[in-house]
Copies of this chain bind each other. A is one copy, B any other.
Amino acid sequence: MLSERRLEVLRAIVQDYVGTEEPVGSKALTERHKLGVSPATVRNDMAVLEEEGYIAQPHTSAGRIPTDKGYRLFVDRLAGVKPLSTPERRAIHNFLDGAVDLDDVVGRTVRLLAQLTRQVAVVQYPSLTRSTVRHVELLALAPARLMLVLITDTGRVEQRVIDCPAPFGETSLADLRARLNSRVVGRRFADVPQLVQDLPESFEELEDRATVSTVLATLLETLVEEHEERLMIGGTANLTRFGHDFPLMIRPVLEALEEQVVLLKLLGEAKESGMTVRIGHENAHEGLSSTSVVSVGYGSGGEAVAKLGVVGPTRMDYPGTMGAVRAVARYVGQILAES
């Protein structure tokens, strides 16, 4: 167990390193922070902290920098979440209030987060499975070709073209549309499968049954399909603030960011409620082993329908970043609830 003062030393090291981006030594520490002890004492504490794996030296006779484990302790026990300043809050409101549709909300949110945190922002679109159905529409594009359009309560729209096994009459289509809607409107997407499973049998014509089955299959496929978990990223230019060594650092990060799958998994691993901070090697993807991810769920009600967050160097301002992420998530939730 680390003494109070040693924790204090760790906190000071993290803060200074985040500020200066340079290894911090015992003397500089005592000068910048009122620790009430001499550099020699701090040196002893540092030796202990290093022993325990919280800090490390880039090379002998250099200052110390925090390890992933050190940041972890800092985030868990030493750092609060810094509330935003009033101007910052106002900026959020001003910026997000002008949004006209869902795409716009997401787009603005990404830019806002990137600007506020000066890091890379990631915003997931409200997911299908946790939303509820506002409307299902079936359009005949051709005799044996339908388009399925799904509209969610969060304003998201999914469409899909369906090739039917047989032509489908206009009346049957209207019938199916009506029955579908009466069953699923207002229900959660997750519940849809069991609500529609008996639909094909209620049709008399054998051919129609086949078509109905096809339509339902596509509908269900659309619901579970993972690649439809879209997201938007922004602020990649902030990666250039990474450090001096960054050609080597930045490349794998950019590559990881282009793989939506990676990002979705990243967000998926985060806790359902509350803020999640994943530091350095805690991220499964190795390209992101020198970055930290701060993420949180957001949603229109009390429940999260999607997540958003930022990706930045492990050496980041955690309290500030967490504050910004949380504030933005809350306000986006409000915006969605209103629309």
| Interface residues, chain A, with chain B CB atoms under 8 Å away | 101, 134-135, 137, 139, 141, 147, 149, 151, 155, 157, 159-161, 234-237, 239-240, 246-247, 250-251, 254-255, 257-258
Contact = CB atoms under 8 A, between A and B. Distances in A.
Contact of A147 (B139, B151, B246): B151
Contacts of A161: 101, 155
B258 A240 contact: no
Nearest to A140: B135
A260 to B, nearest CB: 9
A258 B235 contact: yes
Given A149-B149, A234-B258, A240-B247, 14 more contacts: A134-B141, A135-B139, A135-B141, A135-B147, A137-B137, A137-B139, A141-B151, A151-B159, A236-B236, A237-B251, A237-B254, A239-B254, A240-B251, A246-B247
Contacts of A237: 251, 254-255, 258
Q: How many chain copies does the complex carry?
A: 2
Contacts of A246: 247
Contact of A250 (B135, B149, B240): B240
Contacts of A101: 160-161
Nearest to A159: B157
Nearest to A242: B247
Contacts of A149: 137, 149, 157, 159
Nearest to A287: B237
A254 B234 contact: no
17 contacts: A101-B161, A135-B139, A135-B141, A135-B147, A137-B137, A141-B151, A147-B151, A149-B149, A149-B157, A151-B159, A236-B236, A236-B258, A237-B254, A237-B255, A239-B254, A240-B247, A240-B250
**Listed residue (A101, A161, A239) with the most chain B CB atoms within 10 angstroms of its CB:** A161
